[in-house]
């Protein structure tokens, strides 16, 4: 099958696809034959404001390239907004096949200075939004019947390893790790695979951070992420589910949650005490 036909006849929803990684993903799917639902609220990096122009511009670009696309502008953090994205796809295309949960915002601040509203806003878009979209998509494919479906979530290095000033963002992204693992188990019976990417890419979300200083779009642009997301969503990866794939430019790797061999019993007998646990820590932590 040629690259242009990999997603022929399939409908792919990409949230937060008016800019950056989401835009690159939407364009990738369109290039490979999919009809694409381009969802973007059109807000700024911190989630404030609304503007339909971002989503419309991506749809126009897809159509000019000979593809098919539909724009939606509702927030995935809102129950009705998330469900409306899926219903818009079903209304036009009559079915859905793939979902890419990419929508996100940043409100970075040291934890002791973080306001509850800053915490809630980030968790709502990233984690709640991914849940609402996954549930709406899952309910739709359940009605369609067992098939070959895929969801690709977006976690991050911050969520898996932690990062100063991002208690809200890293907590949301860590939650997406758990959501990915659990939904991959629950949706398997529907023929729906669920994976996640943990990308690092040069976009408006990251252009001002230190690690991107001197980095070019060719080296770390969102196009590299789109290639991996396309693979995970395709039937080429039909046996891949519940995995977390890191993407740093052309570097691709896997994050894994590991469990050490541990210690089966208290050395010398008796019960664990703080002192004994501290002494045994090297063995407890050893693989």
Q: Mind telling me the catalytic residues?
A: 169
- Between CA 267 and CA 242 the distance in angstroms is 37
The single residue listed with the structure tokens 């290639």 is: 227
Strand intervals (E) in the chain: 11-15, 35-39, 68-72, 98-100, 149-154, 192-200, 244-248, 251-255
Burial string for 106-141 (b: 16+ CB within 10 Å, else e) reads bbbeeeeebeeebbebbbbbbbbbbbbbbebbbebb
Find the Cα–Cα–Cα–Cα dihedral 65, 69, 72, 76, rounded to 10°: -100
């Amino acid at each position: 099958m040629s690259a242009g036909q990999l997603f022929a006849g399939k409908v792919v929803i990409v949230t937060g696809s008016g800019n950056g990684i989401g835009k690159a993903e939407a364009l990738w799917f369109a290039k490979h034959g999919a009809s694409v639902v381009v969802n973007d609220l059109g807000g700024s990096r911190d989630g404030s404001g609304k503007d339909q122009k971002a989503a419309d511009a991506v749809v126009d670009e897809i159509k000019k390239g000979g593809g098919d696309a539909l724009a939606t502008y509702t927030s995935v953090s809102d129950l009705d907004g998330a469900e409306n994205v899926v219903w818009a796809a079903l209304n036009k295309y009559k079915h859905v096949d793939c979902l890419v949960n990419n929508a996100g915002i940043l409100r970075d601040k040291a934890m002791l200075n973080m306001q509850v509203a800053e915490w809630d806003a980030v968790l709502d878009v990233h984690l709640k939004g991914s849940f609402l979209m996954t549930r709406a998509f899952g309910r739709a494919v359940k009605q369609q019947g067992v098939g070959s479906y895929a969801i690709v979530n977006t976690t991050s290095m911050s969520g898996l390893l932690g990062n100063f000033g991002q208690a809200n963002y890293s907590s949301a992204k860590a939650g997406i790790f758990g959501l990915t693992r659990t939904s991959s188990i629950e949706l398997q019976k529907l023929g729906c695979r669920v994976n996640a990417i943990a990308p690092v890419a040069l976009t408006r979300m990251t252009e001002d951070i230190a690690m991107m200083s001197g980095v070019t779009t060719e080296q770390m642009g969102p196009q590299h992420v789109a290639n991996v997301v396309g693979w995970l969503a395709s039937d080429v990866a039909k046996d891949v589910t519940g995995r977390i794939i890191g993407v740093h430019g052309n570097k691709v790797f896997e994050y894994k949650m590991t469990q050490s061999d541990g210690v089966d019993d208290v050395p010398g007998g008796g019960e664990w005490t703080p002192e004994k646990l501290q002494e045994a820590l090297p063995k407890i932590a050893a693989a």
